[in-house]
Structure 1
Amino acid sequence: MSFLSSCTSGGCGAKIGAGELATYLAKLPRNTDPKLLVGFDRADDAAVYQLNDEQALISTVDFFSPMVEDPRMFGRIAAANAMSDIYAMGGKVLYGLNLVCFPQQLDKEILAEILVGGAEKVSEAGASLAGGHSIYDHEPKYGLAVTGLVHPEKFLRNDTPQPEDVLILTKALGVGLVQSAVRVGLASEEATAAALASMCHLNKYAAEKLAAYPVHACTDVTGFGLLGHASEMAGTEQTLIIDTAALPLLPDALHYAEAYLATAGGERNRRFVIDKVDLSEVPPAYQELLLDPQTSGGLLISVAAEAAADLLQALQVDDPAATIIGMVASERGAKPLVIL
């Protein structure tokens, strides 16, 4: 049995839709612990728990089934993706715990390679791998529960942009579309290599630069696509303006969108944002790019306009795809998202 073919879906495209998830979470009791500074009620990227006046823990968990055939590459991507939430909150990764589901009939050397790949990325993050949990399952799945550290007054939220901020995206879009092309044998070598490099790249390098600039909000763009995560950033107070002509794209991603290699995750994202944005003037291919689920995607950063150019220059040292893609409107519009 092929490692990849044993799975019905993979990567962040397998996520439960944001709209559906909100319905389920609404039935859970609200947090009453004042030390839990961020919980699931805020739709933020990770939980934040205050330890003292100087320290707060960031806690997150992420796992999924594979989207690539190479087990070690899958481990790298899954680990990079799991740690990304810590970076989106402005924190430092301390340690991770492996989460493993694996079919009993598959070669266990595959599992060993997955774990090695994950460990490589945890090591690159300067963090420790502290243990984990494993079970047999019908499909392979891997990820991490990750703990990070941040100052309780300096962590970044995903829904606090300020009017006239500039929006920066640090990685190119199109991962889901490229992987769809890979599955049907249509992806070019250039597109495949670029997507793998992007998914493996840690958001650590971008996150380390943010503290020196007036960054007002940050989130990582993953399974809900750019529009899904941008709508969470806009919240109920702001309107984000995104210019499709400025979007950084993976090689051939636009071509695959034009060829209708869309994903089920992208359609779930469309249903989530349909009332938040008017896409009637946006070509169908660009709609798919905006909605495309991004496995281990980049950071979406809202920074004061006067500092945007300097931050962008700093980001591009390690994240050359980083690009200004829009701005926060000076006033709240009729909808939270405006697409040019």
Structure 2
Amino acid sequence: MKPRLTQYSSGAGCGCKISPKVLDQILSAAGGTASTDPRLLVGNDQRDDAAAFALDDGETVLLATTDFFMPIVDDPEQFGRIAAANAISDIYAMGGRPVLALAVLGWPLEKLPAEVAGEVLGGARKVCAEAGIVLAGGHSIDSEEPIFGLAVNGIVSRSQLKTNAGAKPGDLLFLSKPLGVGLLATAEKKGLLRDEDRGRAAASMMRLNSIGAEIAPLDGVHAMTDVTGFGLLGHLREMAEASGAIARVDFPAVPQITDLAPYLEAGAIPGGTRRNWASYGDAIDCPDESRRHILCDPQTSGGILTAIDPAHAGGLIALFEKHGLADLAQPIGEIEAAGPGATRVRVAG
């Protein structure tokens, strides 16, 4: 009988992420985030998905990212697939094409057999092959808890590079995956998952966000990011702040992976959800607690969030339909002009 990986980890998936507020403290203590190198187009001072560095021709941009976490599922191969899809997503979220990956592995060798780590790596290789890239090596350590992820490099033309800044008032917001994987993962860990929901979260998390590379060249796309550990509200807040705007979320239009109400009632709420709200809730207008628990739910390998001019939304909707995402091909909100006060995101509906 295979070991249950989640029994050996204190966190789960992107719910392991340090909260935005604490991350700000760490970066501040590190002596600042800005770089004076003009070739660095995007660094960690912009809170974006990947670093972007202009190569010598000026038009080709190198994207670099890394992402790793503890198991969010028990199956080793699925864990590897999810971690790989999640890391590669950072490249797609900036409009890029992944080209190379390296593995980051921490493994408790006294608790879990090395062969199980091999299954994790095998799952990651399959997703890398699906993305058309090579998993070329990496680094491993003996650790107290299982940890896995990738460092990924990608390429994008400078004209198609997308960031989480640049959204304009009037832009419509679209999301390419439903919310709720954190709630389902927590429910499964607590033995509360309904039979009809088994496998839903894993299927969503293993799906590549390759659509991002096709969204970026569309006319009218002003900003992109992927929704991961900070939840929809956290990443939308970053987009609104970077764009000098406010985002309105139409809650009834936000896609949910399943009916999440029973899990909210049962208390299957990840610890990261409350940490998220405590970190950025002062910038969010959302008085309803149950909505907050869904919108702050840490997403592992979540969807691409796109801000697009409504005059060009038809092209994005057609692309969603081409990828079999017709049920997600509707806006979940809109970018509005910034007003007085600290509010960055309003939840309506």
Q: TM-score, normalised by structure 2?
A: 0.93
**Deviation of residue 206 (structure 1)?**
4.0
Structure 1 residue aligned with 2:72: 67
1:101-112 equivalence runs, <5 A: 101-105=106-110, 106-112=112-118
Deviations 1:136-176 (A, max 9, x none): 11111100000000112321011220110000011000010
- Compute the displacement of 1:264 (Å): 1.1
Asked whether the 8 Å contact 1:224–1:269 carries over to 2, the reply is yes
**What is the RMSD computed on CA atoms of the aligned residues?**
1.5
Cα drift, residue 331 of structure 1: 4.8
CA contact (8 A) 2:173 2:334 kept: yes
1:258 to 244, 257, 265: 265
Counterpart residue number, 1:161: 167
Q: Alignment partner for residue 269 of structure 1, among 263, 276, 301?
A: 276
- Structure 2 equivalent of residue 142 of structure 1: 148
After TM superposition, where is structure 1 displaced by more than 4 Å over at least 4 residues in a row?
none
Change (3 A) 1:31 1:319: farther
Contact 1:254 1:286 in 2 (8 A): no
Alignment of 1:158-307 (within 5 A): 158-235=164-241, 237-280=244-287, 282=288, 284-307=289-312
1:43-54 mapped onto 2 (5 Å cutoff) = 43-51=47-55, 52-54=57-59
Aligned-residue offset at 1:213: 2.8
Is residue 190–residue 268 contact of structure 2 (8 Å, CA) maintained in 1? no
Map 1:299-318 to 2 at 5 A: 299-318=304-323
Task: Give 1:315 deviation, angstroms.
Answer: 1.4
Are the equivalent residues in 2 in contact too, given 1:239–1:333 (CA < 8 A)? no
Look up the equivalent residue of 2:346 and give its one-letter code: V
- What's the CA shift for 1:333? 5.4
Summarize the Cα distance change of 1:146–1:21 in structure 2 as closer, same or farther, 3 Å threshold.
Answer: same
Q: Does 1:7 align with 2:9?
A: yes
Look up the SS of the partner of 2:106 in the other structure: strand
- After superposition, the C-alpha distances for 1:175-223 in whole angstroms (9 at most, x for unaligned) are 1000111011111233232211100000013432331231100000000
In structure 2, the residue matched to 1:19 is 21
Quick check: 49-58 or 140-149, which moved more? 49-58
Whether the 8 Å CA contact 2:220–2:311 is kept in 1: the answer is no
Q: Is the 8 A contact 1:222 1:297 kept in 2?
A: yes
User: Distance between the aligned counterparts of 2:274 and 2:153, measured in 1?
Assistant: 32
SS in 1 for 2:103: strand
Q: Is the 8 A contact 2:76 2:119 kept in 1?
A: yes
Unaligned residue ranges in structure 1 (runs of 5+):
none
Structure 1 residues 156 and 241, CA gap change in structure 2 (3 angstroms) = same
**Deviation, structure 1 residue 57:** 0.3
> What is the distance in 2 between the residues matched to 1:228 and 1:325?
15
Work out the number of aligned pairs and report it. Answer: 338
Residue identity matched to 1:79 = A
Which amino acid in structure 2 is aligned with residue 145 of structure 1? Answer: A
Is the contact made by 1:64 and 1:142 (CA closer than 8 Å) also made in structure 2?
A: yes
